[in-house]
Amino acid sequence: MQGAAVPHRVVVTGLGVVTPIGTTVPQFWDGCKRAQLGISPLDGFDVGDLKILIGAQIRDFDPKTRLKHFQRDKIILHADRYSWFAAAAADEAIKQSGLQVPFKDAYRVACIVGSGAGGLQTMETCYRDLFIHKKRATHPLTLLRFIGSSAAAHVGIEFGVKGPTFATCSACSTAAHAIGIGKDYIRHGLADIAIVGASESVINYGVMRAWQAMHVLSPEGCYPFAKKRNGTVLAEGAGILVLESMAHAKSRGAKILAELCGFGMTSDSKDMVNPDIDGPSEAMRLSLEDAELAPSDIDYLNAHGTATTINDRNETNAIKHVFGKHAYNLAVSSTKSMHGHPLGAGGGIEAVACIKAMQDNWVPPTIGLDEPDADCDLDYVPNQGRAKEVTYAMSNSFAFGGLNAVLIFGPAPA
């Protein structure tokens, strides 16, 4: 019922990903279990005078194969690469959910698919055409390709979504914010279903030059919490969840994968680049409060873990601040060590990792962690994943600008 007085419980019924270590959820999770490294030398474009020559690119994705069955969206194959990833991940998630599309009660479905950067592959091509190749015009779909809401619109068109459809943009917290907003829409009766997450594809010459200028990229690899860490590694990909009210999912006999129990978001309001401890701590605390859980209830924490010196130290201290003694009993890992840092898409991919960890009672590793930083002294599940009973899992996303978003997932309701 619209604006229902009693908050609805929100559950997850579908998962979809496209990542450098697997372009479907089963492939991605197998990659995590193999401790697969998705980072390698850049290719696919002229690296010119770049000093950073590694990234986590997706090489085994063919849109003509993955999206050939799309019927309602007539131009998806002419879209930007970030929209392709979003469409493929949404398709996987919706198929797993078993929902019929196009949706019958389409105004009760939301589609919130964000991107930290939008279609920067298209912009790179556009500027090269205009300023290097001296073409007189750009491709007629340039505008539609690069705007940050294109992925959400493409997904909405294909699956017949007529409810709230838009993008979130909050740098590396983009997907987590999208998931949290979808949760709130369902919880308060504004929607029954929400397709939520984010997609990113930014690895090109211009973007690499921009990130290189900030001196936050590693020329060697992504080593979260390690003494040797010296920066993050850019990646591309998408992570999408299908959320439903518990009542809606149960009424159609859906298989419920997990419950989205808690969401917390804050802003540091201090610095565009250097992360804080108070803001992330409060976001974690708010997510626990929202989920009505104690810190000791969390079994696994998927860290933001970018492998920058200050972020990993501050996140470690924030975890200690919130969890107290239990911080040392937590299994914590950064899957970015395997799939790189997909910017806005990170929270979606890492939410999938949390839910798979709960399903399999197995936590993914932080690879490349041979010697931890003395200031990073928690259990980061080094190098190999391990069997561990996981009832509740937390996912952290902390972005440039001090934009923090935290999700908590729990077991499927009986």
341 is known as an active-site residue: yes
* Active-site residue identified among 177, 248, 339, 341: 341
Mean pLDDT score, 188-204: 98
pLDDT at 275: 84
d(CA 288, CA 327): 14
pLDDT tens digits along 237-295: 999 999 999 999 999 999 999 999 999 999 999 999 888 999 999 999 999 999 999 99
Domains of the chain: 10-251 (3.40.47.10), 262-410 (3.40.47.10)
> What is the structure's pLDDT at 4?
52
Q: Could you confirm whether 172 is annotated as catalytic? A: yes
pLDDT in tens, 10-33: 999 999 999 999 999 999 999 999
pTM above 0.85, yes or no: yes
Cβ pair 354, 393 in contact under 8 A: yes
Of 8, 154, 248, 304, catalytic: 304
Structure tokens given for 374: 């003395």
Active site residue 215: no
Catalytic hit among 172, 222, 261, 354: 172
Given pLDDT bands bounded at 50, 70 and 90, which one contains residue 6? confident
For 108-142, write each residue's pLDDT tens digit.
999 999 999 999 999 999 999 999 999 999 999 99
363, β-bridge pairs: 386
Mean pLDDT across the stretch 291-319?
98
- The answer, yes or no, to whether residue 331 has pLDDT greater than 70, is yes
Question: With bands split at pLDDT 50, 70 and 90, how would you rate the model's confidence at 157?
Answer: very high
Instruction: Write the DSSP string, 287-345.
Output: HHHHHT--GGG--EEE------HHHHHHHHHHHHHHHGGGGGTSEEE-THHHH-B-GGG
Helices 205-214 and 120-127 pack at an angle, to 10 degrees, of 110
5 — pLDDT class (breaks 50, 70, 90)? low
Distance in angstroms (rounded) separating the CA atoms of residues 56 and 153: 26
